A and B are shown apart, each in its own frame.
Chain A
Amino acid sequence: MAAGKPAGKILILATESCAYPGADAVGQGHMSYPANTYVLRVKAPVLFPEKFYLDCFDKGIAGIIIMSCGVECPYEGAYEALAKRIDRVYELMKERGWDIRRLRLTAICTVCTRAFINEVKQMHDLVAELGPPGQEQQLAAAGSA
């Protein structure tokens, strides 16, 4: 990524019963994290089809963190269905030559403040390294030339 350019945007899909309150808890603790992050409140991320993630990357979102409730999900079976879907998204990302680390499925609880910060910082570092979606293909092509 060129120096001085703003960092790529990171979308955070945060469940309203776990990760969204977790993000609030980070704020209540005044724990700073990179500002290129946009938290969207979701009832359950199982709502999003594969195409949603691919479209986000096409639109320029550099990284997506799905902050789910994990096994604490209030909708029984939703997390398992979500995990399978994300596997399919990974396959589609590979077909497009995208680094699958741009999409991360994790579980964040209502008090997981350190885990929240950790996930955000890791994704922030990753998108800084990878640049915008699709740039990894250019880097790979340049490397093989």
Chain B
Amino acid sequence: MSTPESPKETTGTGKVGVYVCYCGGNISDQVEVEKVCESLRQLPEVGVARSNMFMCSDPGQELIIEDIKSGKVDRVVIASCSPRLHETTFRSAISRAGGNPYLYEHANVREQVSWVHHGSEATAKANRLVAAAVAKAALSEPLQPIRVDVQQRAAVLGGGVAGMKAALELADRGLEVILIERSPFLGGQVARLRHLAPFGEDAAAVIAELAGRVQEHPAITVQTCAQVEGFDGYIGQFRLQVRRRPPEAEEYADQLAAGSAAGAQLGDVVPFVGIMPQRLPENLEEQEITVGAIILATGMRPYQPLRGEYGYGDLPQVLTLPEFTRLWHAARSQRQGDLLVVQGRRIRHLAIIHCVGSRHIPGVHDEGGRGYLNEYCSRTCCTASLYTANLIRQTYPNTRVYEFYRDMRAFGRGQEELYAQASDSQVMFFRFRAGEEPQISPTSEHPTAPVLIRVKDVLTFNEELEVMADLVVLAVGQEANPVPGLVELMKLPVGADRFLLEVHPKLRPVEVAVAGIYLAGTCQAPFDVGETCSAAAAAAVKAAAVLTRGYVELDPFVAEVDLSRCQGTGACVEACLADGALTMVDMTVDGQNVRRAQVNPALCLGCGACVAVCPHNAINVKGWTLKQYEAMVDAIVAEDLAA
């Protein structure tokens, strides 16, 4: 990788500034950046063409700011990573320099060039894409953003730890919050746990503290048994149709029965269920709420093994870790000695199998009727397994514990210690390779008989070992809680792993592509409770920044009628997809009383359906005009562009 040369002066006469990023080698390893700059300097529209190791860095942005302030540049082309990452960054830099932030165009030469093409091809393509961006920028007009008032109220969807934490963070900043939970309970998946690894906090106490504060906070309204059924609007002015209804006959029947059996009152913790903060609705209730921001905290669900997966569903000796946690709780309350007893069965040997439902490898693992693989690491199961093993060894020293793992991923504070502690406690470890998972078979038809686990153990140089176990616990991973209705309504991006997708995993980790909607917690990725709270707080702060300002500025990319060309055919009004966005009105143009098309910018979607049908090209979407696209195509096909 070569290093950027010192900025060179212009040879062009125009005022387009071109700024090409090395991206620390991500671009320059394939694209000859200086060659691109040199080539672009030959274009008459270009005043300055410069490079920088990181255009998004402060020194990179300063280059742009200085050129605008000195008058060398009045419009900007950035050639760097995808505009989805840094469009806002560069617009902001242009504004700080006193320029118009919409006199700016972006060439994506990382995701769409250097990461997919190599060598001279990459340089040639980058050259043409930047030239096309220059052609578009040269035709850009200064625009002003559309200012919209903000409803200083937020909706938080999901009443688990993430939702409650986000709601409290917003409410503590003086903002009104409506917390919408699909089930009758607050607490989410954490309510179904007993202890939180690695430090062993009481899960119920964590839930009780959060739910107690949520219920007492005057700025928070909780709506359980509620779902969002309708959605429209935009950042600052989202409209949600919320439907609250009584549960169906079997829906939540077990959880509600558990609450009744425990004699729980409203607001009490029901073990492994959660907290019911309000009575069930008796009838269907519908209402429309308007909010300025939305936080999605729709959570995760534990992976449910397929029948027969490690014997699950066929062998009563095989359970998931969440199922075992409940039985452990019951066993602890009836403790009778130094040997774990589960449902009347004495557990002398207990096996824990890691990576169940996680880290699937295409071609190695089978979708098995699910229709998908979980290729990601669920990140929390190794620690949960080690914590469980230690707990068993400390509480029931006569119960032996075996851990079957692929790779041990106990990162983070207090987690490596769990591994060391398990080793000291004589937990026995077996390591298997992907595709050579332990095989479990019954030793007799009797449900209490131990099962046989066969494994090719990497730690003993692939020796084939057999272990007898009275109970097998599957350390299941996390899966995204499916929310197809919200995905459809809000056009939410979903990743290949089926979790909701942030704009950028590092730079914009709690934002989605839809402005004003934020992600909190395990709807985004597998997190532990601490990470979930951090993400929820981050989402709340991002939302609060929008809500407390009182207004937002929207991109001005809406239709605009050129009255010097409009002949009043009305074709655009017929083609318009948004009711009321385009109308025919009487007006005076050049002293003549005429009927012409008029745009309502607040209602215009900016889709351009009107543009294509105008026979006189008298209507265009600001910032995305037909002439600009034609100029880009001209640049792409140009013969004389040096490669």
Contacts and interface: CB of A to CB of B under 8 A. Distances in A.
A52 B636 contact: no
Given A56-B633, A59-B633, A72-B491, A42 B577 contact: no
Given A26-B116, A46-B612, A110-B493, A75 B111 contact: no
Given A38-B132, A48-B626, A43 B606 contact: yes
A83 interface: no
Which size class do A's interface residues fall under?
Answer: 35 or more
A63 interface: no
Nearest to B634: A59
Interface residues of B, number: 46
A48 B629 contact: yes
A17 interface: yes
A81 B608 contact: no
Contact of B637 (A27, A61, A74): A61
A104 B628 CA distance: 22
A24 B112 contact: yes
Interface stretch (B198-206, B494-502, B518-526): B494-502
A58 to B, nearest CB: 10
A35 interface: yes
B296 interface: no
Q: Which of B116, B122, B128, B575 has the most CB of A within 10 A?
A: B116
Interface in B77-134: 82-84, 108, 110-112, 115-118, 121-122, 124-125, 128-129, 132
A81 B4 CA distance: 47
Contacts of A23: 111-112
Contacts of B108: 24, 39
Nearest to A80: B577
A42 to B, nearest CB: 7
Contact of B611 (A31, A47, A50, A72): A47
Contact of B111 (A28, A38, A46, A61): A28
A31 B495 contact: no
Interface string B613-628: 1000000010010100
A101 interface: no
A30 interface: yes
Contacts of B139: none
A70 interface: no
Nearest to A26: B116
Contacts of A38: 125, 128-129, 132, 636
Contacts of B366: none
B13 to A, nearest CB: 26
Contact of B632 (A30, A40, A110): A40
A43 B117 contact: no
Contacts of B612: 46-50, 52, 85
Contacts of A59: 633-634, 637
A52 B626 contact: yes
A32 B30 CA distance: 13
A81 B493 contact: no
Contacts of B84: 20-21, 24
Nearest to A113: B496
B609 interface: yes
A96 to B, nearest CB: 18
B451 to A, nearest CB: 39
A39 B112 contact: yes
Given A27-B111, A76-B577, A111-B496, A43 B621 contact: yes
A78 B609 CA distance: 7
Contacts of B605: 75
B338 interface: no
A46 B115 contact: no
Given A30-B116, A35-B121, A40 B493 contact: no
Contacts of A47: 607-609, 611-612, 621, 624, 626
B575 A30 contact: no
Interface of A: 9, 11, 17, 20-21, 23-24, 26-28, 30-33, 35, 38-44, 46-50, 52, 55-56, 59-61, 72, 74-78, 81, 85, 110-111
11 contacts: A9-B637, A21-B84, A24-B108, A35-B121, A38-B636, A42-B629, A46-B607, A47-B607, A48-B608, A49-B626, A59-B633
Given A40-B632, A46-B607, A49-B626, 9 more contacts: A17-B491, A17-B513, A31-B116, A32-B116, A33-B116, A35-B125, A42-B624, A44-B607, A85-B612
The 3 A-B residue pairs whose C-beta atoms are closest, nearest first, are A47-B608, A27-B111, A75-B607
Interface of B: 82-84, 108, 110-112, 115-118, 121-122, 124-125, 128-129, 132, 491, 493-496, 501, 513, 557, 575, 577, 605-609, 611-613, 621, 624, 626, 629-630, 632-634, 636-637
